[in-house]
Amino acid sequence: MKQVIISGASAGIGAVTAARFLDAGWAVTNLSRRPCPVAGVTSIHCDFAKPESVAKVAAELAAGVADAAQLLLIHNASLLRNDRTGECDDDSFREVLQINLAAPNTLNTALLPLMKPGSAVIYVGSTLSEKAVPNSASYVTTKHATIGMMRATCQDLVGRGIHTACVCPGFTDTEMLRSHIGTDPATEEAVASMSAFGRLIKPEEIAETIVWAATHPVINGAVLHANLGQVER
């Protein structure tokens, strides 16, 4: 059996990625609070903000993946909160760390020892994994660390036949982006103009990149920016 476990496939990039893997013949399991809207995807309720929820689900998954000839683990769920260095409440900062970094670590710890050659661990970063903007301190911090986690994964899996990569989307038209920019056409145009193509990225474009990254071991350890070419100002 070829199996994919993806976090945050209830919406946006994750939901489209889950659909693409399903179409390609993979058994797909989503981890999030809401179910995945794609028929045929198995959803397991999991709140990444709660360590005990993630640990319970990780243990259940570990008991069920022994038969997977290939397992793809896609760390996609994340929280973007508007906060600033010097004003960022500790509890809020810890919650972002928990969702964006500690939860993937819990899943890695439970599942990596069970993964066979031909498997992969794909992290979803951001353009903000390698640059910063104001008002997103916890997100920028954790997305930079996502690249560090991916590189550590690459080094620690040497010899196992399992590859990893970090796909870093730019401005993609999803709930996460819309909750920050809204639907005002002028705002959308301003954000779109920050890409060299003058448009937002479609979630399908990122999903295809993730599926490609997960199935091409030659890119092991790579950071793949998928942002249509960000315009630097």
Site residues, ligand NAP (CB under 6 A): 7-8, 10-14, 32-34, 46-49, 76-79, 99, 124, 126, 169, 171-172, 174-177
Least distance CB 158 / ligand NAP (angstroms): 26
Nearest residue by C-beta to ligand NAP?
Answer: 12
- In angstroms, the CA 233 to CA 225 distance is 18
Least distance CB 70 / ligand NAP (angstroms): 23
Q: What are phi and psi of 41, to 5 degrees?
A: -90, 130
Least distance CB 49 / ligand NAP (angstroms): 4
Residue 159, SS3?
A: coil
**Closer residue to ligand NAP, CB minimum distance, 3 or 10:** 10
Q: Name the strand (E) or helix (H) holding 74.
A: strand 70-75
**Closer residue to ligand NAP, CB minimum distance, 84 or 178:** 178
- In angstroms, the CA 96 to CA 74 distance is 18
- In angstroms, the CA 107 to CA 191 distance is 34
Chain centroid to Cα 26, Å, comes to 18
Q: At what angle do helices 203-214 and 12-23 cross, to 10 degrees?
A: 50
Least distance CB 68 / ligand NAP (angstroms): 22
Least distance CB 112 / ligand NAP (angstroms): 20
**Closer residue to ligand NAP, CB minimum distance, 68 or 177:** 177
**Closer residue to ligand NAP, CB minimum distance, 69 or 133:** 133
- In angstroms, the CA 60 to CA 185 distance is 45
**Closer residue to ligand NAP, CB minimum distance, 46 or 228:** 46
